[in-house]
Structure formats: C-alpha cells, structure tokens
Structure 1
Amino acid sequence: MENTHYDALVIGSGAAGSFAAKELTEKGLKVMLIEAGRNITSEDFNPNFKGPKEKGIQLWARAKAAITGQHIQSKVAMYGRQQRHLFVNDRENPYTTPADKPFLWIRGKQLGGRLHTYGRMLLRWSDYDFKGASHDGKGQDWPFDYAELAPYYDKVEKFLGIYGTKESLPNVPDGQFMGDSHLTSTEATFKSRTHERWPERNPIPWRYMPPNIKRVPQPILAAKETGRLSMRTNAVVRKILVDPQSNKASGVEYVDRETKQAGVIHGNIVVLCGSTIESVRLLLNSATKQYPNGLGNSSGTLGKYFMDQVPSMIFGTIPGKKGFETDNTHPADPFYGVTGGVYVPRFENLDKVTNNQFVRGYAFQGTIGRLYARDDKDAKFGIMGFGEMLPYADNTITLNPHKKDAYGIPVPHISCYMHDNEKKLLKAQTEAIKEMLVNAGFELEFCGSYLGVEEFGKGAFPDADWFSRMLFRMNFRKSMCMGAAIHETGGARMGDDPKTSVLNSHNQSWDIPNLFVTDGSCFPTGGVSGATLTIMAVTVRACEYISQQHAQGAFK
C-alpha cells in the first residue's frame, strides 16, 4: 500500500467520507479510504441482544459503561446499552476541557463512524441558516446560498431514499422524498393544537433515512462497485504530509491502531472527512515551518468559531393514552427498531424579530406516543430542543501539548461555552416547549438543560427506583452541557476571504490547493437542525469540483 500512489486519499468513513469515496470513484479517481476505527461485522448488529431495547433512564447500564471506560459516552441522552460498542472507550480516546467549560465529545470509531448511532434525521438547511448573518450581523455568511446547494441535496436524498412530507416551509425546504413519513395519533394532536394556537409554529413528521440493513454505509458500497476503492481500517492518521517545494499535500502519515507501527500513504489529493473536532485536530497537528500554527492556517482562524447547538430535554406522559404506538411505515429493523417522530422547525426571528432577547432561534425533535410503555401505563413523550449557537472566536479547539493519546498525537483541548445570547435563547427554548406540550393536553414530568432541571407532578422517571432518580437529579446538568446535542460544527470554516476563513467556497484550503475539508468543521454557522444531510450535500458538491479540477490536471 505504501508504494501505491492514489488519486485521492479520503480520511474518515462517516457522513462526509463515505460520500467522498462514492463521488470520486464514480468519477474515475482511484481512492484510498482511511478509517481510524475498526471494520464492522454482522455481530456489531446482533438482533438477539438480551434485555429491553427501550431507551430510558437505564442508570445501571450507564453506570456499568462508565466504570468500564465510557464515562463520557454513557451520558448520551437517548442511551441504549445494546449500542454501547459503537461508541468509543473514553479512556483510550482522551481529550481535555477547561474545568469550568465541560464538553461531551460523543464519538464512534468504526467503519461508518457515527452513522451507526445517529437518529437518521436528514433535514435540509435554508438561507435562514446559510445567510443568517446578513439579517442580524452576527458571524459570517456561507460562501453560497441554498439554491446553489439544492441540486446536491437532491442527489443525496435520491440515493439514500429519504421519507418525508411536502410542507412548503421556507425554513425547512422540501426534499426528494420516496414516500411519506407519518405522525402517531398523539403527534398529530400535538401538531393540530400547536398550529391552531400559534399559526407560525408548524410541527411536521421526521424526514429520515430508514435503517440500512446492509450496515456498511451505502455510499461505500457504491464506491466498492466501481472497482476503484481501496480501504484501510485501524489506521489513525496523525499528520498530513506536505511537499515544501510544491506546497501541496503529498500523503498522510498514520499509525496502525493494533500494531502501533507507523506508515505512509501517498496521494495527489487529500479530502479530510474525519469529523469536526478530529479534522481540526489533525490540521493543527500537521503544522509545518511555513504553517507553524496549523496546516493551512494563514488566516489564524483554524480551531476558532467552534459551535454546537444548545440542548434541552423534556419528558412526560399523555393522559388517557396507554402503552405505545408503532409506526408500520417500514418493517422494524431487527437491531435498531423503528424510526420516526415529530419535528418543530425554528419559528423565532425568521423574517422579522419576534424575540429581541436573542438572535437566531431553536427547534425541537422527538417522539410522542412512540416511547416504550407498558400497556397499563400512560404513553410517553420525549423531546430535545436544539438552539443555534453563534460563532465566537473564543470557542476553540486547540492541542493540549501536555497530553498525548496512544498514538503519540496531542489530544484536543475543547473550550466551548454558552455566551449571554445562548443562555437567553435556552431559557426561551425550554419555556416554548413546555407551553406547547401543556397546550396539547399532555403532562410534564421534567424539563431541563445545563441551566437546571425542573420537575412537575410525579417528577422525573416516576417508575424508577429512588436511587436512580437521585443520581439522575445529581448528574442531569452534566449530561446536558455543551456537546450533548452531538451537532458540533465549525473550526475550519469556509468563506469568501482567505483572511477570515480556512477554506474557499469549494471546501478547498486557501493555502494548500490539493487539500479539502468537507465535514462539519467547514460550517460557518451552526443552525438548529442536524448537520448530517448538509455535510453529505457539501461533500458531493466539493467532490464534483475536485473531479473537474483533477480531469484538467490541476493536482498532478
């Protein structure tokens, strides 16, 4: 492998890397896909897992995970112990934060990355996201608009087979849906009662990709079919190599995760898709004499303007409704179960200022009546809120020079906290969802965020034992700090000006012409919905440009 020269090296195999491999191989390039984690097998998705698959407090399962090395990963909001092996071991993958700015870095290191644990919600962003700074003057606009990205959204959705409903809402544009998604009867009640009282609030069914029964991400399977894809798992890339004469990336240096042996892979193009924090970390660790503060960091912005959405959570019951509803739109996946739910798009500060306490807004996603409940118990709801964090120069990813991982790479030091705008937004966010659920006739058990937890009626998880409930109350705020949304973006942002951004409008490094970054680190803003579909579309768009430039001999 070290003696083979590839047209392109793709680092990472998740949302960005899988599509980069597909697009480049289908356009004739010989590609090496490099994944730091292990390969996956059918045993990773064993449907015969012993124990309940419902997700709830699961205190004892979380405690066991924490004791055995997953003290961070076990804080995932909708934790399911049958999936714990698809999250990293925190002892083996350390990072640091300031003592007063905790951050939950939730990760999966295997072929496909977090595609095996995310909710499969795939929502388009709009110009309220891409051009938000033009309206409120906060941050930096994207270097393209929605119309430019729409054809690439189309391509991704058609390939994956997305389900959703046409709603004609400008802030969540309709997509290419292969079928309708559906609401439960109680979600439909929530929708009608909410819209009746607040016409500007428009709950809709999830837009989602059904579970992938083949498990290996579909774009990787498509890339394999071309015969032009090579893959290397268990290869931890620790440095991007640059030829000082040509100022071009020449390959990568990696460490075998199992043998700890170092190696080099050569390529004409490097496409970095390692996930937001890992990609920034790698660029920082690839510093050269010409770029002493990180590869391609002539702007000084690498590692700055890091964001995650501001999370909140609310649970409760539906009086008069027992048990739980099942959605038969698709057969239940033997490992993951069923998919679906309700989504409340952002409604604050869109075309006009509706709340002058903060800029931007928030959205909600969750399920009503779908969570497991015994036939003699009231049906349940569980909803998370996601508020937009503005890009701040002091929310950063840097390297910790005093701590290294098992492969000799300095660990990332993540400093991300809510500023005054986000604190005000978060308070409004929790009040809004409470009033919507009460208006629908539902009963609240608890609602909370990093700012605190509020209990109602019988309190949080009333059927759990007293010790579990006590520990829940003690640890709730820690489990809802920054990072809990798992929607992190920024740190290597795109822009129109090389003085204020790391990448140009095609995800190309301003400084290293054959280096591209297409994962969430390229985002100039953080939005209120999941970034996955946008990461995929941005990657497809960037790879179209790469292949065109490659055909013209730009990277030789």
Structure 2
Amino acid sequence: MQIKVAPELYDVIIVGSGAGGGMAAKQLADAGLNVAIVEAGPFFDPADPKTMTQLKWPYESPNRGAGTTRPFGGWDMAYGGWEIEGEPYTHEPGTKFDWFRSHMLGGRTNHWGRISLRFGPKDFKGKTRDGHGEDWPIGYEDVKPYYDKVDKLIGVFGTNEGLENDPDGFFLPPPKPRLHELFYIDGAKKTGVPVIPGRLSMLTKRINNERGVCFYCGQCSRSCSVYADFSSGSCLIFPAQKSGGRIKIFVNSVVREVTTDDEGKATGVSYISKDDRKEYKLKGKVVVLAASACSSARILLNSKSKHHPNGLGNSSDHVGKYLHDSTGASRSAFIPGLMNRKVTYNEDGTGGMHVYSPWWGDNDKLDFPRGYHIEIGGGMRQPNYGFGFNTNEFNKFFGLNVGGYGDVLRDDVKKYYGSVIQMAGRGEGIARKENYCEIDPTTVDKFGIPVLKFKYKWSDLEIKQAKHMQDTFEEIIHNMGGEPLGDKPTADMDYGLLAPGRIIHEVGTTRMGNDPKTSVTNKFNQLHDVDNVFIVDAGPFTSQADKNCTWTILALSWRASDYIIEQLKQQNI
C-alpha cells in the first residue's frame, strides 16, 4: 500500500489536543514554531451554532438527555466513551479496567469537571513520605512557577487557605455555597472534616477580551459557548491561532506510530485518516505525544524498528507499566431538611461544586497511605430525564408512596427535588509495576492498529481507603440529619470502590525518573531513548495524588515546552 507523505517539515508534531497537547501547541506556536496537531476525532468549537449543545432544554436533547446516546448522557459533550465501536481493548483474566477515550478537538477537556487542584510538596515525594512507590525526580518547587502561570493564563476560582499540601494559587473570587452545600459544611465540620471553597477553572471574573464570564447556566459538561470554563480548544489552541501562531490541525486522524530514521531518531508520525481509511505520514523535527497516558503508551509500543525492537522509548521495558487511576467511591443521602423548598432565587451556580473537602487525615493513625478529597453534588439544577429523583429508592427505604402521574408527580417533585446530596471520594492509588497495559498480539482495531490489553487490580490499601470513605460519608450524613440511600457497601463489594479507569485519571504509563533503566522519560518529559520525542499527557506522572491531574498536566506541558524551545535554539535536538 502506498503511503502519502506530506511535503512540509514541521518544527513540532503534537499528537492529541487535550490539556497537554493544547498547552504545548499554544506555547510552541507562540514561540514562532510551525506546529501540526494530529487529533483522532472531529473539529469541535462549543461556540459554533452547528455543534453547540449548551443552553438547550431537556426535550431538545436525544432521549431527553438520558444516558443512552453518550457515556454521560445527552447533557455531556463527550465524543467517545469507555466502549467505542471498532476500537476495542482487551483484558488479562481477572482484570477490570475501563478505558475512557474522548476523540474530538480538545479531548476530555470539553466535558471534565474543571476541578483544578495543584499537587502539593508531599505528593512529589511519596516514597520518602511512607515507603510506597517512588519519588518524582522533581519537586513542588520545580512545578510551582508553572502552576502560577497556568492559574493566570486560564483562570481558576478559589481561596488561599495556607494548607501544607493543598498549595495556594492565584484565584478568582469563588461562588457562594448553595443550600445543600451549607448543609454539607455543617455536617462535615461536626466530623472534623475541613471544607473550603472549590477550585475550578471557571471564570467568575473577566480575565481577557476573548473569554466570557460564567453566568451560572450549570451546563459546563457541555463545554462553554462563551469560553468561560477551561477547554483546550477554546482557551489554548484557538487563541494561539488568532495571535498568529502557525498551527495546522489534522482531525479524524488516528496515529499508528512514530516514524524513525536509520539512527533511531524520530522523523514524524504515521496516521490513518478516518475519512478515507488511507495511511499518511507527517514529517517533524520534534514529536510530542499528548494522546492520553494509555494512548501514548500504545503508540510507543507500536513504534517498533531496528533501533527500537521493543517499541520506541522502551529499552527499559517500562512503557505501559505503573498504570494507575484515582480511587473512587460515593454515597447519596436524603436530607429531610431540604424538603419543601421555596425557590426564591437562582441557585444553579457553576456546573460543579462550590465547596469541597481536601484530605485531612493523619496516615500514621490509619491503615492505608495517602488520602482522598470529597466532592459534593446536589441542589436544584434544571432536571432532565432521570435527574436523580428516584421514586423507587424513596419508596423502598422510607416507606413513602412517592411518584405517579400528573399532579401527584408534580407535587412530589416539588416536595422532594433538591433533597438528595451526593458525596464522592477521589483518592490516590499506589503505582505498581504489575498494573500495566501492553499490546495485544492477537487483536487490532478497525484501522488495523494493534490494541491494548490491560492488567490491573486494586490492592488492599485502596480497598481500605474506600472503607474509610464510606465510614466518613455515613457519619456526615448522620450529622446532616439525613438517611443514606441504599445499603452501605461491604467488604465483599470492596466498599463501593469503582473499577480502575472509571474515574478517568489514569497516569504513569511513561513515568519520569532519573534512571533510564526504571523510567521512560526524564524530568523534562523527554524520552530517555530518543531526545526529540516528548510526552506531555499524564503518562510521565511518577505517582498520582489525592487531586485531579489536569492542572499538573498543564503545568508540566508548559515546562516541557519551554525546554523544547530552549533545546531547539541550542540545536541540541
């Protein structure tokens, strides 16, 4: 088969357009470099009337917004999901790992929760702290200048609290707590759990002329038509293009491999076009992988050659190893004090939590390392089909006769809607070599590209952490005067711990380190084996934290981009 090779030589080819890819594109293009972005999905602009789904009524969404057309329902802007037709992945026996992929310009940043937390000083030195995992080759002091820059460029609301491992930043004014959050604050404080304003990348104050300010429509999961929340396309790629950045975007293009020359150095990428199913090649001086931790590992493992028989950057046999996701468990409760509410003002707020609980525990007194934070849900947002008012649960657990049709249903909705609170723990799992992804030698996708096989299992440490979550939730519910919905998850249910991959925070597959024998990238996200290939998604994370990973992806991508610019100027790569 003849492969068409584009004649242009790009300074940098970036694979993926999410948080890491978008940040790299902006910094490199702003520096005057000629950049190509290769994205597996279609073009997407939330402000385009043709694709805009924000500010629509539930009856304008397929199935009234029920979760059958997209993985998170019609109220969510995600092209992809845990299962994509024709693009499978496989498992080792006994493994449960769900791999979420978002194929669209901007990737997962179009529909994430915008929870924008910095890692703290302790998070970079896990082994020193408790003996588990490995320390990062960098510390908080190396990343702090870039966290500061990300805060100022993108915008994040919050407050400076002086917490040791939840670092302060440059914050916009936070929105006030809503009624259900005031109940949570009261219940959590009685348990000794701290509550502070949320830290979300949504603009509560104008920061430039290109982006609007949040007007509390509560539909951030659809991506914002006025660019008030952070998405990679609207906040990084589009501004770089408008300011003269030389960026060419190749959409619907699935990268097969990184191509190399006779010396083993990267020369570009090979991709399959979804439009005609033909293979094409792009040439570049530098290749930046930002396809997501597992996708970038897959590309490297499929990039075999004479110099790289085990896959590109894989002389250590560590590509794909140390895969780990955030832990996650949750609980819902009925709060009688929130019944029969008179709605006298608009309390929709942002499309996310206005307050949250950072980790507070003393691990010396606990039976697990690290920790978790608590996210809060609830309130009176506009309902859609299946909006959380489960009449069967109310009737089962409280002996109520709720629901029905017509006026009876309308009366009950007014009586009970907004009276349910959800709490979700999001914590740190320990990175282990035995949790990994690799190429399945027997299976290819519809483009003929070998797929990933996963092997993953939670340890007792993560399960004990989930038990602590459930015990904490129960105590807070009691303090709120509430009643849990459903039975408390038990040991045989791993205390409600979700399957790995379900929190969509997978990291660590191309982890950074100083020793090329036990890591894939160096402290600047550069492959040890090939100096003109960089990874700027969450793959290089040496460990996860009890925080969401996006803000650290952005900071490390900016840091790596500065290093690329410097190395190109010095003609070192």
- TM-score, normalization by structure 2: 0.83
Measured in 1, the distance between the counterparts of 2:566 and 2:346 equals: 43
Structure 2 CA distance for partners of 1:292 and 1:194, relative to 1, 3 Å: same
Structure 1 residue corresponding to 2:555, chosen from 531, 537, 550: 537
Measured in 2, the distance between the counterparts of 1:146 and 1:448 equals: 38
Cross-structure match for 1:296? 313
1:353 corresponds to 2:364? yes
| Stretches of structure 1 lacking an aligned partner (at least 5 in a row) | 66-72, 455-475
Cross-structure match for 2:294? 277
Measured in 2, the distance between the counterparts of 1:398 and 1:348 equals: 36
Cross-structure match for 2:415? 376
8 Å contact 2:174–2:198 — kept in the other structure? no
Q: Secondary structure at the match of 2:281?
A: strand
Measured in 2, the distance between the counterparts of 1:376 and 1:412 equals: 49
1:80 corresponds to 2:73? yes
Q: CA deviation at 1:44?
A: 3.0
Measured in 2, the distance between the counterparts of 1:326 and 1:124 equals: 36
Measured in 2, the distance between the counterparts of 1:102 and 1:490 equals: 18
Deviations 1:356-390 (A, max 9, x none): x2221222112243565643215221122122111
Q: CA deviation at 1:310?
A: 1.6
Cross-structure match for 1:390? 430
Q: CA deviation at 1:104?
A: 1.6
Measured in 2, the distance between the counterparts of 1:445 and 1:300 equals: 46
Deviations 1:442-464 (A, max 9, x none): 3211366696669xxxxxxxxxx
Q: Which letter does structure 2 place at the counterpart of 1:354? A: K
Measured in 1, the distance between the counterparts of 2:20 and 2:343 equals: 34
Structure 2 CA distance for partners of 1:377 and 1:164, relative to 1, 3 Å: same
Cross-structure match for 1:14? 18
Q: Which moved more, 1:319-328 or 1:251-260?
A: 319-328
8 Å contact 1:316–1:381 — kept in the other structure? yes
Q: Which letter does structure 1 place at the counterpart of 2:120? A: S
Measured in 1, the distance between the counterparts of 2:159 and 2:487 equals: 29
8 Å contact 1:449–1:481 — kept in the other structure? no
Cross-structure match for 1:466? none
Superposed, 1:186-265 pairs within 5 Å as: 186-198=180-192, 201-210=193-202, 211=220, 212-214=224-226, 216-224=233-241, 225-245=243-263, 247-265=264-282
8 Å contact 2:9–2:283 — kept in the other structure? yes
Structure 1 residue corresponding to 2:29, chosen from 25, 30, 37: 25
Cross-structure match for 2:111? 117
8 Å contact 1:493–1:524 — kept in the other structure? yes
| Stretches of structure 2 lacking an aligned partner (at least 5 in a row) | 203-219, 228-232, 384-388, 390-412
Measured in 1, the distance between the counterparts of 2:445 and 2:473 equals: 41
Superposed, 1:38-77 pairs within 5 Å as: 38-41=42-45, 42=48, 43-47=50-54, 49=56, 51=58, 61-62=66-67, 64-65=68-69, 74=71
Q: CA deviation at 1:232?
A: 0.8
8 Å contact 2:34–2:246 — kept in the other structure? yes
8 Å contact 1:184–1:327 — kept in the other structure? no
Q: Which moved more, 1:287-296 or 1:252-261?
A: 287-296
Q: Which moved more, 1:381-390 or 1:189-198?
A: 189-198
8 Å contact 2:32–2:245 — kept in the other structure? no
Measured in 1, the distance between the counterparts of 2:498 and 2:487 equals: 11
Q: CA deviation at 1:226?
A: 2.4
Measured in 2, the distance between the counterparts of 1:546 and 1:384 equals: 39
Measured in 2, the distance between the counterparts of 1:385 and 1:238 equals: 36
Q: Which letter does structure 2 place at the counterpart of 1:310? A: T
Measured in 1, the distance between the counterparts of 2:343 and 2:360 equals: 28
Cross-structure match for 1:127? 121
Counting aligned pairs with the same residue, the percent is 33
Q: Which letter does structure 2 place at the counterpart of 1:376? A: K
Structure 2 CA distance for partners of 1:410 and 1:418, relative to 1, 3 Å: same
Superposed, 1:315-330 pairs within 5 Å as: 315-322=332-339
Measured in 2, the distance between the counterparts of 1:144 and 1:84 equals: 35
Structure 2 CA distance for partners of 1:265 and 1:327, relative to 1, 3 Å: farther
8 Å contact 1:194–1:439 — kept in the other structure? yes
Q: Which letter does structure 1 place at the counterpart of 2:58? A: G
8 Å contact 2:507–2:541 — kept in the other structure? yes
Cross-structure match for 1:69? none
Measured in 2, the distance between the counterparts of 1:129 and 1:527 equals: 6
Structure 1 residue corresponding to 2:474, chosen from 421, 427, 434: 434
Q: CA deviation at 1:183?
A: 1.8
Structure 2 CA distance for partners of 1:5 and 1:450, relative to 1, 3 Å: farther
Q: CA deviation at 1:281?
A: 0.6
Q: Which runs of 4+ in 1 moved over 6 A?
A: 324-329, 447-450
Measured in 1, the distance between the counterparts of 2:561 and 2:173 equals: 28
Q: Which letter does structure 1 place at the counterpart of 2:73? A: G
8 Å contact 2:191–2:475 — kept in the other structure? no
Measured in 1, the distance between the counterparts of 2:194 and 2:332 equals: 20
Measured in 2, the distance between the counterparts of 1:414 and 1:529 equals: 24
Q: CA deviation at 1:236?
A: 0.8
Q: Secondary structure at the match of 1:44?
A: coil
Q: CA deviation at 1:203?
A: 1.6
- TM-score, normalization by structure 1: 0.85
Measured in 2, the distance between the counterparts of 1:447 and 1:299 equals: 46
Q: CA deviation at 1:324?
A: 9.4
Q: Which letter does structure 1 place at the counterpart of 2:145? A: P
8 Å contact 2:100–2:501 — kept in the other structure? yes
Q: Secondary structure at the match of 2:486?
A: strand
Deviations 1:202-241 (A, max 9, x none): 1222211225425633100122122311111111111001
Measured in 2, the distance between the counterparts of 1:59 and 1:231 equals: 34
Q: Which letter does structure 2 place at the counterpart of 1:353? A: D
Q: Which letter does structure 1 place at the counterpart of 2:429? A: M
Cross-structure match for 2:506? 488
Measured in 2, the distance between the counterparts of 1:384 and 1:100 equals: 26
Q: Secondary structure at the match of 2:531?
A: coil
Deviations 1:251-299 (A, max 9, x none): 0011101211111101101111000110111111112222222211122
Q: Which moved more, 1:316-325 or 1:119-128?
A: 316-325
Structure 2 CA distance for partners of 1:191 and 1:485, relative to 1, 3 Å: same
Structure 2 CA distance for partners of 1:161 and 1:521, relative to 1, 3 Å: same
8 Å contact 2:78–2:108 — kept in the other structure? no
